[in-house]
Amino acid sequence: MVVALVFSMTLPVMLAIGLYYKSSGLLMEQSLFNLIFSKDWRPLSGHFGLFPFIISSLWVTVLALIIAGPICLFSAIHLTQYAKSYVLKVMHPIIDILAGIPSVIFGVWGVVVIVPFVSQHIAPLFGKQTSGYTIMSGGIVLAVMIIPFILNILIEVFKSIPEELTEVTLSLGATRWMVVKHILMRKAFPGIVSAFGLGLSRAFGETIAVLMVVGNVTRIPHGALQPGYPLPALIANNYGEMLSIPMYDSALMLAAFVLLIIVIIFNFISRMVIHRMIKIM
Amino acid sequence: MSGNSKIIIKDVNLHFGKQHVLKNVTANIPEKQITVILGPSGCGKTTLLKTMNRLTDLYPNVKIKGSIHIGDDDVLNTKKDITEIRRHMGLLSQRPYPLPMNIFNNVAYGLRISGRKSKKYLKPRVQHYLQMANLWEEVKDRLTDPASSLSIGQQQRLCLARGLSVDPDIILADEPTSALDPLSSEVIENKFIELKSQYTIVMVTHSLQQARRIADYVIFMYLGEIVEQGPAEEFFNNPKQELTKKYIKGLFN
């Protein structure tokens, strides 16, 4: 049992060390700073700038959270505060089903529905023309994928707040909405941050569904209606294919390493926020 | 019975789904006295208390019939905004539930949401109510600390100050001392005795001793029905029902 525990505890560290070791070939030749912040990606001439991929990943992820965040928050508030109890009972299996759908199916759905929708309806709104394979499509598909995770946590967060807090606030002459806005949101804040943080980490690493709709063009995107090429897509598309190019596998390992580190940083930041909020309350 | 009735409860029946929780409850709660609703756990006394300011609205599948008159309003069937009516009743719950804010804002919140927002107005008010709840001396130097940093006894007094801040004329208390140590309980009890010259106090308790100490009027409930009610002296010294006699002698359960 102890061995199993130690194994699972050291797993992230071993993963990081392994990835770092594998990418060290490239790191010996070029500085890490340069690799991360250079936008020059030409493997054939030995240029492995990861910046376009990192930026694409951030774009897709943040967009997904901007779409999914409010939807989840308002759904959770409605389900726990306003809706009849059977609605929540119906919602639970729906959320579970949504969470269990394989991501490739979301990808197909994205290609068939979202990509044309973005191309025909959303882009014209902004006076743009696009094939639909854009950051926007990736963000929408990803938003739908992380909704069940964020929503699930938020429902638990709001359910864990004692009902008496609502009762005493109502007795002070507050309306239901004041209770939600002033008291429950505040009380739930650490939970909301952690739900969003977890959603963010999940979204950042999601690969296949995003890869199918995001366009995969190596260029720094300057808007949601341009194509992008997130880190996980880069790794999945190329690993095992063009490894005859010198240092290519090393560069992909570095990409994986960067991905891991960013996810860890997300986790760390949301943990810190939670910790500070709990102290204040 | 001396004085007027503040709350007139008539033929109240309450169902949770199929469960009949309050059965034909009729009672007159006297003004500016301490009324204690007494009875073993699960007899419906907390539900009766929450019916008075319609917190029962929060529960699913509740059906209420009957009337509860406070002043000119029938709380159960009024067309007025219920939040307005609730403001006339301060609530003290079983355990203290401070709002997730600092000590000052806990007391100021009720005033703020009714539109009184200026710091100049709030400061002396907050001090006044904290003094009323015997808490001012202990917290005057740490008003910006989170309310959760106080001890449980202090928190309960903070909740009392918060409840008084909106200037209610009724205080509803649901076993307000059950989570407190004896010393803090005594502070709350003495406070109630002090406050009854200005407020009508309705307190739920299952403690016979506590009822003896502070009650002016007693409502004794069992299994959703009122078994007996009357002025405290009469109730304790000369009970009429067999069930009451047994309960007072401690022969229950």
Integer Cα distance of A58 and A36 in angstroms: 14
Q: Which stretch, A68-77, B124-133, B206-215, has highest mean pLDDT? A: A68-77
Question: Residue B1 pLDDT more than 50?
Answer: no
Answer whether B162 sits within 8 Å of A172, measured CB to CB. yes
Domain annotation for chain A: domains and CATH numbers:
2-280 (1.10.3720.10)
Helix axes A231-238, A51-77, angle to 10 degrees: 120
- Cα distance between residue B148 and residue A281, in whole Å: 7
Q: Do you know the residue count of chain B? A: 253
Q: Do A281 and B148 touch (CB under 8 A)?
A: yes
Q: Can you tell me the distance from the alpha carbon of A199 to that of A260, in angstroms, rounded to the nearest whole number?
A: 15
Walk along chain A (281 residues) in steps of 10 and give the mean pLDDT of each run: 87 86 80 79 80 88 93 94 87 90 91 89 82 88 92 90 90 90 90 88 84 82 82 82 76 86 85 73 57
Please indicate if any CB of chain A lies within 8 Å of the CB of B97.
Answer: yes
Total Cβ atoms within 10 A of residue A165: 18
User: Would an 8 Å CB–CB cutoff place B84 in contact with chain A?
Assistant: yes
Contact: B99, A280; criterion CB under 8 Å = no
Instruction: Kindly report the length of chain A.
Output: 281
- ipTM, two decimals, is 0.86
Which residue of A82, A86, A89, A168 is the best one to mutate when testing the B interface, meaning the one whose CB has the most B CBs within 10 A?
A168
Phi and psi, residue B34, nearest 5°: -100, 115
Tens digits of residue pLDDT in B8-21: 888 889 988 888 88
B63 vs chain A: nearest CA distance in angstroms?
Answer: 15
pLDDT of residue A141: 92
pLDDT value of residue A281: 57
Please name the residue of chain A whose CA is at the shortest distance from the CA of residue B83.
A173
* Chain B residue with minimum CA distance to A279: B146
Q: Burial level of B11, CB count in 10 A (0-12/13-18/19+)?
A: exposed
A89 touches chain B (CB under 8 A): no
Statement: residue B220 has pLDDT above 80: yes
Q: Reply yes or no on whether the pLDDT at B253 is more than 60.
A: no
Per-residue pLDDT, averaged over B161-170, amounts to 89
Chain centroid, CA A163 distance in Å: 32
Helix (H) and strand (E) counts for chain A?
Answer: 14, 2
Q: How many beta-carbon contacts under 8 Å exist across A and B?
A: 71
**Would an 8 Å CB–CB cutoff place A208 in contact with chain B?**
no
All residues of chain B having their beta carbon less than 8 Å from the beta carbon of residue A182 are 99, 109, 113
Please tell me if residue A93 touches chain B, with a CB cutoff of 8 Å. Answer: no
Considering the entire predicted model, what is its pTM? Answer: 0.83
Q: Which residue of chain B has the CA closest to A83? A: B60
Give the start-end residues of each E strand in chain A: 41-42, 47-48
How much is the average pLDDT of B28-49? 88
Residues B145 and B159: their CA atoms lie apart, in Å, by: 15
| Secondary structure element (H or E) that encloses residue B124, with its range | helix B119-132
CB B202 within 8 A of CB A171: no
pLDDT at A74: 94
Confidence of residue B3 (pLDDT cuts 50, 70, 90): low
Q: What integer pLDDT is reported at residue A73 of this predicted model?
A: 94
Interval B54-74: pLDDT, tens = 888 888 888 888 889 888 888
The Cα B19–Cα B49 span in angstroms is 18
Identity of the residue numbered B125 = R
Do residue B163 and residue A164 have CB atoms under 8 angstroms apart?
Answer: no
Mapped onto helix, strand or coil, the DSSP state of residue B201 is strand
- Closest by CA to A230, choosing from A220, A241, A240, A243, is A220
